[in-house]
Amino acid sequence: MVKTHDKLVKKFCLILLLFLFWNCSKKESLITGLNIPEDSLLNLLSSSNNLNFPLNKRKENTQKALDIIINQTNDSLNRVNLFRVANRYYNVNDWKGYKKTVDLALERSQLSRDTINTAKSYTYLGDYYGVQFVSDSAFFYYSKAEKIYIRLGDNYNLARTYLNKSLLQFNESDFSGSEIAVFNALRAIKEDKADDIIYESYNLLGIVYNEKEEYDKSIEFHTKALESLENKNIPTQYQSKATSLNNIGYVYQNLKRHEQAIPFFQKGLKEKSLINDKPSLYAMLLDNLAYSKFKLKEFDELPALFYQSLKIRDSLELTAGIINNKLHLSEYFAYKVDTVKALKYSQEALQLSKSSKNYRNVLASLKQLATIEPQKAAIYTKEYIHINDSLQKAERKMGNKFTRIEYETEEIKSENTDLVQQNRNLLYFFTGLAMLGLFSFVIKTQKAKNRELLFKQQQQMANEEIYNLMISQQNSIEINRIKEKKRVARELHDGVLGRMFGVRINLDSLNKILDETAVEKRNNYLTELKNIEQDIREISHDLNREKSELINNFVAIVDNLFEEQKKTHKSRFVSNIDPAIKWELVSNSLKINFYRILQEALQNINKYANANIIKIELKKVEDHLILKITDDGIGFNVKTARKGIGLQNILFRAKECDGVFDIKSSKGEGTIITVTAPIE
């Protein structure tokens, strides 16, 4: 069905309003007051965004900045600077430079696996195609950015992307899709503080419902948008309040309640710095105010308000706004029966609409011309119907395209999910395989350790048997030696000395012979016999005394152990064995256990303690032997280590000889082991 002229005019104004609100310049603050070299990157970026510079100079400086950045290393700062250059190309409407820069930023972000800037590049490409009115490509890149933001959990940029998609759908008359996208944006930032997103969402919903002719809902959401500005951190230069006032007035204008619309337009025009911050919005408010006054037949400020608005739009080259202004002027002059001017403005609007390929405005211009020139109404109506049908088909086709793009991206997401699941299953499989291998390795290692421990135990038992045999053999030798020495002593004392004593007596009796020669000889023999007697007596005494100094070789075995320790290990070794110990009174069992305790303790110290000094003290106190082993090593937690095999062996041997085992140690303070056992 062919729409009325007023309805088409409203549609054009609405699209223009939304476009101007949404696609504001990508501005950045300027750096001033610094002494920066003219050709430095910082100065070029600053001057290229300075509105006081001529447009061609800003473009030139933007290109110079890009030439510097292209040759720099691909790092995070380099990619940030690329986006800054892209913003400047956007602000000067150099779309070729903008596209080239964003493509480079995307390439470098992907090479660096920079997910955040990859998503940002997709968003910038969506902005580019949106400005070029290639909605399907814009929608495609916004959808790619959306998937990344979902994966990153970046709710703010996700909501912003939903709003971008909503705008595209609105511009292609997919109002239901646009509405859904806005609610997706609101859900995305539900738990976050995002005042600007909330305002823009409410504002866009108000515009969508206005287009769907659900005017009550439209006013409701525009009012919510206006209320959301109270005490919120939205910069005043965006003139959000003036925007909402204009939108509410525009809904009343669509309801033909112009007396209610005018106060909102007038209030919006009174916003501070509006003409400087947003001259396009100022021009729109002027045009809307003029149109409502015209409808109420309040001609006191007309057509001046229309001309004032048109002048601003001409200076800003706002094509859609210029067309809208000229259609209003045509309608105004037609009412004033100034057909020449009415026809002039309608034809200019039609020509501008066709040259800008804005077919919605073409329809509005044709409708206005059919009213002004009734004699040509059939021609205009025929062309109108043809373009309108084509436009509706294109809108349906574009809506289907959006749906297909959504489907394809969801399908890709599903395939990626399946791939992730497959990768996860492979990871589980190989992890299980690795754990099985590790478990097998641990079992084999434990078995090897058990075999090694068993071998050591067997070796220890063999060593004990050898030691016992050595001690037994030594005892046998020593017993036989002592017996032999006693026998020799007895023989010397009882046999030789007795006979010699008799000889001495006999010789002594010869002294009664008075022969001088005989007397002298006998005296010599007697003296010699006395000397021999004394020597034999001393030998006998020495033999009996030596047995108390001879021991069963335990000290020699321990000394060998100590000598081996000194040769093998770098730790300083100090030993002290009490010489007062009568080893012949100490049982072999006690000697063996003390010897094994020494072995075990030294082995543990060498293996774990990392000690610099080792001290061994073996002394007798009353009827007990005390073995004290001290090191200045790293120490350990006694409670944890008591379950170790080494300490268990020492404890077992201490109990074997009815002794008491004590250990003192802490990390970093060395270790003291004391074993006290009774002498049997």
DSSP state of 586: S
pLDDT of residue 574: 92
Tell me how far apart the alpha carbons of residues 616 and 602 are, in angstroms, rounded to a whole number.
10
Tell me how far apart the alpha carbons of residues 538 and 542 are, in angstroms, rounded to a whole number.
6
pLDDT of residue 131: 84
Tell me how far apart the alpha carbons of residues 422 and 414 are, in angstroms, rounded to a whole number.
12
pLDDT of residue 400: 54
Tell me how far apart the alpha carbons of residues 240 and 177 are, in angstroms, rounded to a whole number.
25
Tell me how far apart the alpha carbons of residues 564 and 557 are, in angstroms, rounded to a whole number.
11
pLDDT of residue 501: 63
Q: Higher pLDDT residue, 448 or 85?
A: 85
DSSP state of 31: P
Percent of the chain predicted with pLDDT > 90: 24
pLDDT of residue 410: 55
pLDDT of residue 172: 79
Q: Higher pLDDT residue, 85 or 512?
A: 85
pLDDT of residue 124: 93
Tell me how far apart the alpha carbons of residues 67 and 87 are, in angstroms, rounded to a whole number.
16
Tell me if residue 487 falls in helix, strand or coil. helix
Task: Give CB contacts under 8 A, 24+ apart, made by 492-495.
Answer: 492/536, 492/539, 492/540, 493/536, 493/537, 493/540
Q: Higher pLDDT residue, 391 or 22?
A: 391
* Phi, psi (deg, nearest 5) at residue 318: -90, 90
Neighbours of 49 (CB within 10 A): 23
Listed residue (610, 16, 84, 509) closest to 309, CA to CA: 16
Burial class (CB in 10 A: 0-12, 13-18, 19+), 626: middle
pLDDT of residue 262: 93
CB 676 within 8 A of CB 633: no
Q: Give mean pLDDT, residues 374-391.
A: 73
CB 301 within 8 A of CB 262: no
Q: Higher pLDDT residue, 101 or 534?
A: 101
Tell me if residue 114 falls in helix, strand or coil. coil
Burial class (CB in 10 A: 0-12, 13-18, 19+), 573: middle
Tell me how far apart the alpha carbons of residues 444 and 447 are, in angstroms, rounded to a whole number.
5
Residue written as token pair 């020597």: 535
Task: Please write the tens of the pLDDT for every residue from 302-311.
Answer: 899 999 999 9
The tokens for 153 are 């959990």
> In which band, very low, low, confident or very high, does the pLDDT at 3 lie, cut at 50, 70 and 90?
very low
Tell me, what amino acid is at 250?
Answer: Y
> In which band, very low, low, confident or very high, does the pLDDT at 639 lie, cut at 50, 70 and 90?
confident
Q: Give mean pLDDT, residues 594-602.
A: 89
pLDDT of residue 405: 59
pLDDT of residue 541: 63
Q: Give mean pLDDT, residues 398-420.
A: 56
Burial class (CB in 10 A: 0-12, 13-18, 19+), 224: middle
Residue written as token pair 């706002």: 318
Tell me if residue 3 falls in helix, strand or coil. coil
Q: Higher pLDDT residue, 628 or 408?
A: 628
User: Residue 321 above 80 pLDDT?
Assistant: yes
pLDDT of residue 117: 92
Mean pLDDT of the chain: 80
Q: Which residues contact 150 (CB under 8 A, 6 or more apart)?
A: 158
* Helix axes 497-509 and 516-546, enclosed angle (nearest 10): 160
Neighbours of 137 (CB within 10 A): 17
| Lowest-pLDDT choice from 12-16, 334-338, 350-354, 440-444 | 12-16
> In which band, very low, low, confident or very high, does the pLDDT at 614 lie, cut at 50, 70 and 90?
very high
> In which band, very low, low, confident or very high, does the pLDDT at 34 lie, cut at 50, 70 and 90?
very low
Q: Higher pLDDT residue, 30 or 349?
A: 349
Q: Give mean pLDDT, residues 208-234.
A: 86
> In which band, very low, low, confident or very high, does the pLDDT at 415 lie, cut at 50, 70 and 90?
low
**Angle made by CA atoms 324, 330, 333, in degrees to the nearest 5:** 140
Tell me how far apart the alpha carbons of residues 38 and 116 are, in angstroms, rounded to a whole number.
32
> In which band, very low, low, confident or very high, does the pLDDT at 9 lie, cut at 50, 70 and 90?
very low
